[in-house]
Amino acid sequence: MASPLYMDRVIAPHRSLTPQGAAVLLAVVMAFNILVAVFLLVVGAPPVLPFLGLDVLALWLAFRASDRAAKRVERVQVTAEAVTVSREDEKGARTVWTSPTAFTRVGVDLPGEHDARVRLMIHRKRLTLARSLSPDERISFANALQDAIRAARAERWS
């Protein structure tokens, strides 16, 4: 019989612009650049035209990098026996970190006003979690993770 899960969270980056929205935005920028290119050709300034293509290329590369980064997923599971963190990157490679619940601590570092780091710690090993969340969401997540670990320990020792 599998032990109950005290926490099972999937953390993925939030993207406010959908792929369709990115395509529309790129099309609008291209249309504007074509209008500017026609004007520059009429005025007699063709050396500027390649730069109009470079900004479209830069925008397309930025959207592509953002889409790749959106595929990074982190899953945190807490049972009475172990705390497991599995990360999957944009290429599908998976990394798993496991530690016994009884010895795992949760720490929150507040180095700056707008930054907070959530860390799982066991002896001298540390793992930073929830990088894609906002600082307030990280603190809330850290509290929920601490509560889940406490509840898992209580079940283990009751």
In a domain, 110, yes or no: yes
In a domain, 81, yes or no: yes
pLDDT of residue 2: 62
In a domain, 2, yes or no: no
One domain, residues 62 and 100:
no
φ, ψ of residue 89 in degrees (nearest 5): -90, -175
**Along the chain (158 residues), what's the average pLDDT of each consecutive run of 10 residues?**
81 85 92 91 86 90 86 89 89 87 86 79 87 86 91 76
pLDDT of residue 111: 72
State how far the Cα of 85 lies from the Cα of 69, in Å rounded to an integer. 18
pLDDT of residue 113: 64
One domain, residues 87 and 143:
yes
Q: How many domains does the chain have?
A: 2
pLDDT of residue 12: 87
pLDDT of residue 46: 82
Q: Which domain holds residue 109?
A: 7-14+72-156
pTM comes to 0.71
